[in-house]
Amino acid sequence: MVQTLWGAVTDAGGRRRVNEDAVLARPPVFVVADGMGGHVYGAMASACVVQAFAEFADQTVPGTPVEPAQINAVIHHAQNLIRAKLRALDDDRPARAQASSEGQSKPESGGSPSAPLAGTTVAGAVLTSRDGTPYWLVFNIGDSRVYRHDETGLSQISVDHSVVQELIDAGTITADAARSHPERNVITRAVDSARAVQADFWMLHAGEEQTLLLCSDGLVGELTAEEIGDILNSPGDPDKISRDLLHRAIDGGARDNVSAVVVRLQMEYDDAGWVHLPAWDEDLDDTLPRPGAEALR
């Protein structure tokens, strides 16, 4: 089996009293979720996503084929968990709804003004295979992100579901301007208690000398892409690198919750000696986001 090294960290960030983020690092599944809805509902929603993916990880053998439909099924299971939690909280709704109005950073996608807000983003990667070759199945909903770092530098794999991303795509604003845009926290797709939602997907060839970073927007809100790339390029294992990212982001008090999962694959050792992961092959294409392209469904 391919050896998987990882580090996973999450923190309230210094300016918020409660951490609504949640992370999962349970090979072959890695997930970051950023809850919304205030102190009660946001943390509950992100926890439901992590619970659903933890159950899926326990049932999945690393390296076996995983299809996008399976990931969407897990997301729909998470939505059912959120709905069940909301029903359980129904009797205490007035007091909790008042609490949830404090510290709201992102609106829920869908729902009515009188309903409690409960939703979350999710960004993840599952180690799978295609024709015996290891691949990462990357997915996202909302504005939590997946990056890849290799010898060519840092590349953002996922595409945000957000108002500012739509403005960037339309050419109305630049990516730099998006960092300070007043609607930068408004997302257009979320895992919530409303209608069923679909993730976007990409397949990445999983070779050596590459690192995946999954993170909430609290990290990219504090660090530039250049700063993130420098840290990912620094010496150390994924656990150290994830902690370095967190410490750099919350130094002085981050404005939002901060989460990061750093994952790297390593060659394994057997009786015959070191066995390397397959080298890059031009026939093993990634499916990367590009203008006009459809994500895998």
162: which 2 tokens? 């957000």
Angle (CA) 257 258 264, round 5°: 155
Q: What is the pLDDT of residue 177?
A: 64
Given a cut of 50, whether residue 156 has pLDDT beyond it is yes
Q: Residue 95, Cβ neighbours under 10 Å: how many?
A: 11
What share of the chain has pLDDT > 70, as a percent?
A: 77
pLDDT(199) > 80: yes
Domain 3-275: CATH superfamily, name plus number: PPM-type phosphatase domain (3.60.40.10)
Q: In this structure, are residues 109 and 187 in contact, taking their beta carbons and an 8 Å threshold?
A: yes
> What was the pLDDT predicted at 288?
59
Q: pLDDT at residue 112 above 60? A: no
Q: What is the pTM assigned to this prediction?
A: 0.83
Mean pLDDT of the chain: 82
- Environment class of 113 (CB within 10 Å of its CB; exposed 0-12, middle 13-18, buried 19+): exposed
CA–CA separation, 28 vs 131, rounded Å? 17
Bridge-based pairing state of the strands 211-215 and 258-266 = antiparallel
Say if residue 138's pLDDT is above 70: yes
- The CA distance from 97 to 116, in Å, is 6
Q: Where are the domains of the chain?
A: 3-275
pLDDT at 2 over 80: no
pLDDT band of 287, cuts 50, 70, 90 = low
Per the model's pLDDT, the better-predicted residue between 284 and 179 turns out to be 179
CA–CA separation, 130 vs 68, rounded Å? 13
Residues 6+ apart with CB under 8 A from 170: none
> pLDDT band for position 217 (50/70/90)?
very high
Which of 1, 15, 2, 4 has its CA nearest to residue 239? 4
| Residue 296 in this model has a pLDDT that exceeds 90 | no
Range 261-282 average pLDDT: 63
